[in-house]
Amino acid sequence: MAAPKVMRLLATLSTLLFLYFVYQNYQPAPVTKENDFSPEEPMRDPNLDLTFEPEGPLWRADEYAPANPNAPRINATLLALVRNSEVYDMVSSMRDLERTWNSKFNYPWTFFNDEEFSEEFKRLTQAETKAECKYELIPKEHWETPSWINEELFQESATMLKEQDIQYANLKSYHQMCRWNSGLFYKHPALANTRYYWRVEPKVHFFCDVDYDVFRYMEDNNKTYGFTINLYDAPQSIPTLWPETLKFVAAHPEYIHENNAMSWLTDKARRPEHHIQANGYSTCHFWSNFEIADMDFWRSQPYEDYFNHLDRAGGFFYERWGDAPVHSIALGLFEDSSKVHWFRDIGYQHIPYFNCPNSPKCKGCVTGRFTDGESWLNKEDCRPNWFKYVGMD
């Protein structure tokens, strides 16, 4: 029996969309416009310009006392995946963020671990904040290697990745962490009634006083995701991530947002070797050790279907797909790019990279410095592409 006309039409549209994505990936690089950032020259860091708070009404630290039941806090949390052995590095991160922001707004902290937290961890972390602290155990079914992953193939793949100097490739726990951060953390029962989160890792630093409720800013301005640092990934760690993504979007063309960031995801002018090795993906991504985000996006049908597709493909274990490129590709394809915000006013460091604004509210970092490591690390900055294709909002 011939397929119904509507089914044939959908199949044709899916094929055309897939061919369009292939064309976007492999067409010649566009000619650089006069106002574009040149691939050969480093960008003048916009953090050198005077930085102000975001425009529009902002919620100040009035009535945010921790015990105030009528405080204007919304359903949001500071979130950390951390081990007991990292307690002192976690305390250092907390101390910075409490000093610069949370001591004024008293949002709760939610800590996750695949083992029970020690009493020492609880005591030392709670001592750093007046806000509530929650200590949660990750369910085994969320952390363990899924049944469809072949252990022998994983070990062989990990050995090959290690030979290519892919960091942490031989640590199964790192692969488990990337998978959990990509598509499982927001399913934890402790977050069932929480919408927004600010991810905080051990041993990071915050340099600038932030005097407004960032979660309220996200909600009031209909923002989905906030970042500070935007990098290139190691293409050897994700060679099939983009091809798998193309398979998915060919099957689900309806999920692509009309105001997407496809050009940012597929640019090949600045790092053509990355585009080649990652099979059409620029490898640009938001560095997700800092992210302020709306979990409704991760809980949406497009993202759920996308994560499940990737999960079954096995790349979280057979390669080293990280949550940063997975989150970034999903945002770049399925979300309105205007809903992604650069928190340029939040000074931040995760070794070896910085976001250091020019502001009297900041101290302890060098304005406009991207890295304090080797000079070659500067080429890992992918912000120029984001600013070129999307903007600086």
Catalytic residues: 291
**Closest to 361 in 3D by CA, of 342, 346, 348, 343:** 346
**Closest to 113 in 3D by CA, of 74, 139, 93:** 139
Q: How far is CA 367 from CA 206, 274, 278, 377, in A?
A: 13, 29, 33, 17
- Cβ contact 230:382 at 8 Å: yes
Q: Which long-range contacts (CB under 8 A, 24 or more apart) does 327-330 make?
A: 327/182, 327/225, 327/285, 327/286, 327/288, 327/291, 328/265, 328/284, 328/285, 328/286, 328/288, 329/241, 329/242, 329/245, 329/265, 329/281, 329/285, 330/297, 330/302, 330/303, 330/306
Burial of 393 (0-12, 13-18, 19+ CB in 10 A): middle
Instruction: Report the b/e string of 121-154 with b at 16+ CB within 10 A.
Output: beeebeebbebebebbebeeebbeeeeebeeeeb
Burial of 163 (0-12, 13-18, 19+ CB in 10 A): exposed
**Closest to 39 in 3D by CA, of 391, 381, 393:** 381
Peptide bond into 352 cis (omega under 30): yes
Count the neighbouring beta carbons within 10 Å of the beta carbon of residue 68.
11
DSSP 8-state symbol, 236: G
Q: How far is CA 41 from CA 270, 342, 373, in A?
A: 9, 22, 19
CA 325-330-334 angle, to 5 degrees, is 160
Token pair belonging to 195 = 């919408």
Q: How many Cα atoms are found within 13 Å in the side-chain-facing hemisphere of 221?
A: 22
